[in-house]
Amino acid sequence: MTRSRYLGWLLAATVTLILGCGVAVTIGPAAVSLGQVAGSIGAHLGLATEPVPILIDSIVWQLRLPRVLTAALVGAGLALSGAVMQSVTRNPLADPYLLGLSSGASVGAVCVVILGIGFFLPAAAFAGALLALVATLSIARVGGTITPVRAVLAGLAIAQLAGALTSFIIFWAAKGDSYREILNWLLGSVAGATWQSVTIAATAVAVVGTGILLSATRLDAFAFGDTAAASLGINVNRTRWALLGSVALLTGAMVAVSGSIGFVGLILPHLVRGVSGPGHRRLLPLVAVCGALFLVIADTLARTVFDPRELPVGIITAFIGVPVFILLIKRKKSHLWA
C-alpha cells in the first residue's frame, strides 16, 4: 500500500474515533446532544462556548466522558500490547490475556482491594503482570530459546494458577463491597471510570506507546526469529525484555483501570495487519486507533443493549471477538495457522 493510502486510512480511523467518542457520550438514559457534549468539554477547557445546563454538564463531564475516554485508552493499550506480544514471541496467538499477564495483574489488584489499600492498585496490578510474565517466560525458555507453542502452554499454566489464586483470595477474604469490586475486574468493565482512570490509562498509553513506536524497526527485525534479528543488528535479549517489560507495564495499567478485557489484544492486530501490512511503523499507530474505536463501541453496546442493566464490556468483546477469530482461522491459509 502506498504511503498516502495508509495515511488516508489512519486519518479516517482517527476521525471516526473522535466522532465515535462524541456520539458515545450522547448515548445513555439522559438525552444529550453532540452540541452539548462539545459545549461541556469546551467550557471545562476554558473555551468560550454555549453554556450547558448544570445537570447535562455533570453527566457529560463527570460520568460519560471519563468512561468513554477510558474505554478508548484501554482499547488502544490492549491492542498495542497484543501487537507487540505477537511479534516478540513470534506467536499469532499471543495477547496479554493468553500469556497470563492480565491474570497476574488481577491477582495483584484483588490483593490490594482485599487489603483495603486500593490506592496502590495500579502498582499492584503492574507487579502482578510482571511476575506472571517472568514466570511464563522462564517456564517457556529452554536452552535459551522461547518457542511459540511453549510460550502459550506456559502462559496457560500461569493464567490457571493466577486464576486459582484469585479465587482462593476471594473465597477466604472477600465480602460485600470488595466482592463486587473484584467481580468487576474479573469480567472487565470501565463502568466505574473516573478522571483518575483516564489519567492512569493516558499516562501509560502515552509513555509506553511512544517507547513502542520508537521500537517499530526493531520489532520488524524479529519476523524471521532471534538469529535473523541479531544478524540485522538487534540486541535480541535486551530488546525482547525491554519490550515485554513495557507491555507488562501497559497491561498492568490497563487492568488496573478496567480489569481483564479479552480479545482486543488478540484480534485487532490481525485485522489491522490486513490493512497496514506487517511493518510495525504502520501497524502500531493504526492498531492503537482501531483498538480504541473497537472498545468505545463495545462499551457503548455494553451499557445500552440490555438497558437499564449493564453488561461488563469483557463479555461484549468476547461475543464479538470469538466469531471474528473463527473467521480468521478459516481464512488464513499460511502454515502459521496450521
Cβ nearer to other proteins, comparing 71 with 272: 272
The only residue of 278, 306, 327, 331 in contact with other proteins, by rule CB under 8 A: 278
* Residue 142 engages other proteins in binding (rule: CB under 8 A): no
Cβ nearer to other proteins, comparing 226 with 310: 226
* Residue 51 engages other proteins in binding (rule: CB under 8 A): no
| Pairwise CA distance, residues 233 & 240, whole Å | 14
| Pairwise CA distance, residues 105 & 101, whole Å | 6
Name the minimum Å distance from CB 9 to other proteins: 15
283, β-bridge pairs: none
In the region spanning residues 231 to 250, those forming contacts with other proteins, defined by CB under 8 A, are: 231-235
Cβ nearer to other proteins, comparing 44 with 238: 238
Cβ nearer to other proteins, comparing 91 with 166: 91
Total residues contacting other proteins by CB under 8 A comes to 33
The only residue of 18, 163, 199, 220 in contact with other proteins, by rule CB under 8 A: 220
Cβ nearer to other proteins, comparing 37 with 151: 151
Largest CA distance in the chain: 66
Q: Which residue is associated with the grid cell 511493518? A: 279
* Residue 9 engages other proteins in binding (rule: CB under 8 A): no
The only residue of 30, 217, 305, 323 in contact with other proteins, by rule CB under 8 A: 217
* Residue 276 engages other proteins in binding (rule: CB under 8 A): no
Name the minimum Å distance from CB 331 to other proteins: 11
Name the minimum Å distance from CB 276 to other proteins: 11
* Residue 207 engages other proteins in binding (rule: CB under 8 A): no
- Cell numbers found for residue 318: 468476547
* Residue 273 engages other proteins in binding (rule: CB under 8 A): yes
Cβ nearer to other proteins, comparing 86 with 197: 86
* Residue 334 engages other proteins in binding (rule: CB under 8 A): yes
Sequence-distant (6+) residues with CB within 8 A of 76 are 205, 209, 288, 289, 291, 292
* Residue 8 engages other proteins in binding (rule: CB under 8 A): no
3-state secondary structure the chain: CCHHHHHHHHHHHHHHHHHHHHHHHHCCCCCCCHHHHHHHHHHHCCCCCCCCCHHHHHHHHHHHHHHHHHHHHHHHHHHHHHHHHHHHCCCCCCCCCCCCHHHHHHHHHHHHHHCCCHHHHHHHHHHHHHHHHHHHHHHHEECCEECHHHHHHHHHHHHHHHHHHHHHHHHHHCCHHHHHHHHHHHHCCCCCCCHHHHHHHHHHHHHHHHHHHHCHHHHHHHHHCHHHHHHCCCCHHHHHHHHHHHHHHHHHHHHHHHCCCCCHHHHHHHHHHHHHCCCHHHHHHHHHHHHHHHHHHHHHHHHHCCCCCCCCHHHHHHHHHHHHHHHHHHHCCCHHHC
Q: Which stretch binds other proteins (CB under 8 A): 33-41, 48-56, 226-234, 245-253?
A: 226-234
The only residue of 227, 322, 327, 331 in contact with other proteins, by rule CB under 8 A: 227
Name the minimum Å distance from CB 159 to other proteins: 22
Q: Which stretch binds other proteins (CB under 8 A): 134-142, 187-195, 275-283, 291-299?
A: 275-283
Tell me the per-residue interface mask from 78 to 97 with other proteins, x by CB under 8 A, - otherwise: --------xx--xxx-----
* Residue 335 engages other proteins in binding (rule: CB under 8 A): yes
C-alpha dist (Å) from residue 314 to 42, 97, 271 = 32, 12, 19
Name the minimum Å distance from CB 54 to other proteins: 47
Residues that bind other proteins (CB under 8 A): 86-87, 90-92, 148, 214, 216-217, 220-225, 227-228, 230-235, 273, 277-282, 334-336
